[in-house]
A and B are shown apart, each in its own frame.
Chain A
Amino acid sequence: AQRVTQPEKLLSVFKGAPVELKCNYSYSGSPELFWYVQYSRQRLQLLLRHISRESIKGFTADLNKGETSFHLKKPFAQEEDSAMYYCALGGTSYGKLTFGQGTILTVHP
């Protein structure tokens, strides 16, 4: 069975500091990993996906199959990055996604 673990429920950093949101997954097939973000009073939206190897709003995430991880990183956090972040695992049948429990990131001024 597939599983996604986000070990930190809450993460606080100061503006300008580096931030890393951890995500580990368990899946026997070929995984597809995503990060979703939910800003205050906005709907949940896709931040980035591993197949695109892109940087969005300064965030990057590298899929490490050896460590089964897909950590989200940003070198210099901004206050507007404060939000709930979900890691999600796809690649399963019918496009189903398995989500982690989410991490609330707070960036202090």
Chain B
Amino acid sequence: SQTIHQWPATLVQPVGSPLSLECTVEGTSNPNLYWYRQAAGRGLQLLFYSVGIGQISSEVPQNLSASRPQDRQFILSSKKLLLSDSGFYLCAWTEGRYGYTFGSGTRLTVV
């Protein structure tokens, strides 16, 4: 069966520090992968998506970047975190039109 792993679960980082959040998927090949941010009062905002290795599309300009070094691995990064990067980050995958499967999320607090 397909599963999705996301870590860490919580992270507290100082302003200006780097960030790396990882997401891996098991039990499927060539999934579409997504990074969303869930900010208080703002719902779920799509940050990046990827339809294949090395293929990254950004939905909103921001301080973050994403990479997909392997078929089932999706990484969210930042070189220097800002206070506004705080939020709940969700990774998701889909094989097509039947909706997403979400990871358990990472709560990032930038202090």
* Known contacts A96-B34, A96-B49, A100-B43, A44 near B102 by CB under 8 Å: yes
Contact A43 B105, beta carbon cutoff 8 Å:
yes
* Known contacts A44-B90, A94-B51, A101-B41, A34 near B46 by CB under 8 Å: no
Contact A90 B105, beta carbon cutoff 8 Å:
no
Q: Which interface residue of A95, A100, A101 has the most chain B CB atoms within 10 A?
A: A95
Contacts of B100 in A (CB 8 A): 36, 46, 97
Q: Which interface residue of A34, A45, A96, A100 has the most chain B CB atoms within 10 A?
A: A96
Contact B43 A95, beta carbon cutoff 8 Å:
no
How many of chain A's residues touch chain B, expressed as a range?
20 to 34
Contacts of B103 in A (CB 8 A): 43
- How many chain B residues touch A (CB < 8 A): the figure is 25
Contact B43 A86, beta carbon cutoff 8 Å:
yes
Determine whether A49 belongs to the interface, using a CB cutoff of 8 Å to chain B: yes
Contact A95 B46, beta carbon cutoff 8 Å:
no
Contact A94 B43, beta carbon cutoff 8 Å:
no
Expressed in whole angstroms, the Cα–Cα distance for A36 and B51 within the complex equals 22
Q: Which of B20-28, B70-78, B91-99 contacts A (4 or more CB under 8 A)?
A: B91-99
> Chain B: residues with CB nearer than 8 A to chain A?
32, 34, 36, 41-46, 49, 51, 57, 59, 90, 94, 96-105
